[in-house]
Structure 1
């Protein structure tokens, strides 16, 4: 009971937007412990905690160009540090990407522990809640690995540092960092179990379902470079729901061309999440611009050019959230691209191109798109990677793509910027692609730094 009271104190701290490290919260004897389905569902329905995705990595990608005059207006020192790829990005101990992801893991573990304490006859009635908690724990770990562990290399993952594996809600336990391969296997294990417990679709886009579980599995296996499994789970997701928006039906003149996701809009989206908000995300103003090199990738018949960007090409408006915070969830267009890439990498070239054709016919002006075939496409892999770049800007995927593609000499990218007359760059496989663990965590838990 003492641990349960402690857990709820931490939960209430999160509900009240505590700024201090959540490990410092003290238990209060007057707090009630969540045990019913309604109470446990309420924990997982807390959008301010459970439906967040990293935001700071977006400013570090080649999607963005910030004019020198706008840099002083950035509200957080994190933003400028990430933009110029400083080694020490986080001068402040409170790092939202670290704290919120671990809160997702913590909330999930509270729910899982409560369910495990139910009687054997009660447990099956909690299956959907259990599946949701497993999904949230997995996606919390996924977000942490894309920032705070090295990129996944199949040749070294068994020896690289991963993350501590937390399967209990007791925050007084401080397991050591495991191996990276074990961390990824932990995520996929959670998602495989979740996919057996969750419904095909959800009443609300903020709640996990089978499609989202299979989609996240496909995303993770793509990062792991396991293309057979990436194909398998992308295919399962698309078989359940392969809806794509035909961009010919959207109003390209609109400042917000996409339908709202919540509670259950935007048919392409299988799971809603929003990137953690930073001041650089003011894309509809003139202070932060789209990288001209990105805008120039789109030809005149490609509707993404006018749906994603304003008339000048300087500002991004193609936000799948249709709100101020950038989309950080999962949508079917990404899953078609995963299935396409996986097929091509498995030497099933036409099958991969067919998936790409299915996507692109919904992205080009009616009657202007001509399908790709093996005979007219000399380099299918380069094509699908280029289309991935064009389809997913500002979606939180570019940083991960750079980390994985930089392992291949053919696709490696050197990022460069000039800021106030000074040249900055980050080379492929640079250690700065892995962010430092917040110093407060090192001091509190003794966790090994990157």
Structure 2
């Protein structure tokens, strides 16, 4: 039987993988098998695996614009240039998609936990259940990322027939990689989350490990991407009822106080990271930059003039991953995201005042007190526009904008056409299949049942 190469490099084995034969072998000298409850908890402590998320949507989103930076365009490798221009294919058949590999490796580790932790030794039932629930949340989060990169935008009328992503729920390397429907993937995500949330603790030792606030937050993000806005707002509110701490960014404006690192940041509900694609500097689009009041501390703290980067460029660039060098970009669910998710649901439901109260509560923590003036909205459509603009300001440079572009592309009043000039050619992104990443050709060649996305 041919091994399925959904995982190009199985990092899980380097950690010491669980045997798929459930411990019936005699343990060999100098070999470590995972059989104790604590072993499975250590799997979930591995930040190199469990913090992985998508990086490339940063480059595909309209946060970034290289139009006036010819030297930076030339620094892009072929695959990064393809992502930037939403090309027919991104990788050649001899290249691996590092994002696909890392995310499915995370799924593999979670499947080891859910398959074997309940039979492990030297742990209480409550410990095992908590570890199992944590793995469910991590797996659901990862599938939510995968299905929103490699599958069509969720559409309730076609989700049952649109191709999802391979849905692997056990650590079996020989399963079929035929693609279930988008609906089936979302159903599994919701199933995992709703089963896990009651078991999750209220508080965890650090934000690598999901608690109830994180579980509800991932569920809120799921419903947001499904355009089920009342349920998104409801679960965002539940998340905030457990954790709602905001940083006063004005405290960090003069640089005398250290901005908290990702794993220590109280705004981060579950830590996930992204890296700059190719470690390139990220010039921000003028449309995004023009949304900022220059007194907004996010403008001064998280962006810099392009002249301060190497190589230098015109305009402003994202500085998020440089506030702490090598700390990368936090892309996990967060308190600000939940406030804006709830506010969007309220605005869409016509509850203008409550939506604006949430927006202003967040923005008050993004300005020095003397500089802030509350925003107002004449009606619900105006409030919705303010909320969406605030999402751009709050979440820029994380790649989360790409997922907002996807869902909003289904609404003519909110969809935006993006045009890019790259190496002498103009490229245009409109609603449709260019919002879907192609499946890596290498994976399809190794697994012919894995069908390619239409382009």
TM above 0.5:
yes
Q: Give aligned pairs, total.
A: 423
Q: Equivalent residue for 1:273? A: 272
Match of 2:174 among 166, 169, 172: 172
Q: Equivalent residue for 2:34? A: 34
Q: Equivalent residue for 1:432? A: 434
Q: Cα gap change, 1:29/1:403 in structure 2, threshold over 3 Å: closer, same or farther?
A: farther
Shift of 1:237: 0.7
Q: Cα gap change, 1:202/1:61 in structure 2, threshold over 3 Å: closer, same or farther?
A: same
Q: Equivalent residue for 1:251? A: 253
- Rounded to whole Å, the distance in 1 between the matches of 2:136 and 2:64 is 34
Q: Equivalent residue for 1:442? A: 444
Q: Equivalent residue for 1:339? A: 342
Unmatched 5+ stretches in structure 1: 17-27
SS at match of 1:64: coil
- Rounded to whole Å, the distance in 1 between the matches of 2:254 and 2:341 is 26
- Rounded to whole Å, the distance in 2 between the matches of 1:170 and 1:376 is 53
Contact 1:52 1:328 in 2 (8 A): no
How much is the aligned-residue C-alpha RMSD, in angstroms?
2.7
Q: Cα gap change, 1:395/1:277 in structure 2, threshold over 3 Å: closer, same or farther?
A: closer
Deviation digits for residues 377-405 of structure 1, max 9, x if unmatched?
86111111111111110122111011111
Q: Equivalent residue for 2:391? A: 388
Q: TM-score, normalised by structure 2?
A: 0.86
Contact 2:262 2:330 in 1 (8 A): no
- Rounded to whole Å, the distance in 2 between the matches of 1:374 and 1:127 is 46
Shift of 1:45: 1.7
Q: Equivalent residue for 1:260? A: 261
Deviation digits for residues 312-336 of structure 1, max 9, x if unmatched?
6522223498343222222111110
Shift of 1:249: 0.9
- Rounded to whole Å, the distance in 1 between the matches of 2:381 and 2:149 is 35
Q: Equivalent residue for 1:296? A: 290
- Rounded to whole Å, the distance in 1 between the matches of 2:123 and 2:266 is 37
Contact 1:177 1:447 in 2 (8 A): yes
Q: Equivalent residue for 2:78? A: 77
Q: TM-score, normalised by structure 1?
A: 0.87
Once the two structures are superposed, the pairs formed by residues 38-57 of structure 1 within 5 Å of their partners are 38-57=38-57
Select the structure with the greater relative contact order (CA < 8 A; seq sep ≥ 6): 2
Match of 2:418 among 415, 419, 438: 415
Shift of 1:13: 4.2
Contact 1:149 1:161 in 2 (8 A): yes
Unmatched 5+ stretches in structure 2: 17-26, 307-314
- Rounded to whole Å, the distance in 1 between the matches of 2:12 and 2:436 is 31
Q: Equivalent residue for 2:102? A: 100
Shift of 1:339: 0.5
Shift of 1:276: 4.5
